[in-house]
Structure 1
Amino acid sequence: MELERAVMKIGIIGAGQIGGNLTRRLTALGHEVSVANSRGPHTLTELAKETGATPVPVQEAARGAEMVVVTIPLKAIPDLPSGLFAEAADGVAVIDTGNYYPQQRDGRIAAIEDEGLTESRWTEQHLGHPVIKAFNGTYAQDILDRHRPAGTPDRQALPVAGDDAAAKSKVRALIDELGFDTVDAGGLDDSWRQQPDTPVYGLREGVEAVTKALAEASPERTPEFSA
Structure 2
Amino acid sequence: MTQTIGIIGSGLVGKSVAHLAVAAGYKVVISNSRGPDSLSKLVKELGPLARAGSVEEAIAAGDIVSLAIPLANFKTLPADKFVGKVVIDQTNYYPGMGDFRRTDLDQGKLTSSELIQQHLKDAKVVKGIHNIGWIHMQYNARPKGDAERTTLPIAGDDAVAKEMITRFIEAVGYNVVDAGSLADSWRIEPNTPIYFWPYAPEVPEGLTEQEAKEVYRQRGKPLSPEQARQLISTTKSPSPIGGTLEGLPPIHIALFLELASANTVEG
TM-score by length of 2: 0.76
Matches of 2:190 and 2:19, distance apart in 1: 25
User: Residues 29 and 210 from structure 1, CA distance in 2 versus in 1: closer, same or farther, beyond 3 angstroms?
Assistant: same
Aligned 1:185-196 pairs, distance under 5 A? 185-196=179-190
Matched-pair contact (CA < 8 Å) for 1:159–1:184: yes
Q: CA deviation at 1:223?
A: 6.7
Instruction: Tell me which of 41, 46, 49 is aligned to 1:51.
Output: 46
Matches of 2:68 and 2:151, distance apart in 1: 19
Map of 2:86 onto structure 1 = 93
User: Residues 115 and 209 from structure 1, CA distance in 2 versus in 1: closer, same or farther, beyond 3 angstroms?
Assistant: closer
Amino acid at match of 1:28: A
Matched-pair contact (CA < 8 Å) for 1:70–1:95: yes
Aligned 1:1-227 pairs, distance under 5 A? 6-52=1-47, 53-86=50-83, 92-105=85-98, 107-114=100-107, 116-128=109-121, 129-202=123-196, 203-204=198-199, 205-222=223-240, 225=243
Amino acid at match of 1:58: V
Amino acid at match of 1:156: T
Amino acid at match of 1:213: L
Q: CA deviation at 1:12?
A: 0.4
Q: CA deviation at 1:154?
A: 2.2
SS at match of 1:154: coil
Amino acid at match of 1:95: I
Q: CA deviation at 1:110?
A: 2.8
User: Residues 224 and 131 from structure 1, CA distance in 2 versus in 1: closer, same or farther, beyond 3 angstroms?
Assistant: closer
Q: CA deviation at 1:11?
A: 0.4
Matched-pair contact (CA < 8 Å) for 1:48–1:55: yes
SS at match of 2:180: coil
Amino acid at match of 2:109: G
Amino acid at match of 2:136: D
Q: CA deviation at 1:47?
A: 0.7
Q: CA RMSD in A?
A: 1.8
Q: CA deviation at 1:140?
A: 1.3
SS at match of 1:111: helix
Which deviations, in whole Å up to 9, do the C-alpha atoms of 1:145-204 show, x marking residues without a partner? Answer: 111121222211000100110110011111111111011111111000001010000123
SS at match of 1:214: helix
Structure 2 unpaired stretches of 5+: 200-222, 245-267
Instruction: Give the total of aligned pairs.
Output: 217
Amino acid at match of 2:11: G
Matches of 2:242 and 2:117, distance apart in 1: 24
Matched-pair contact (CA < 8 Å) for 2:79–2:119: no
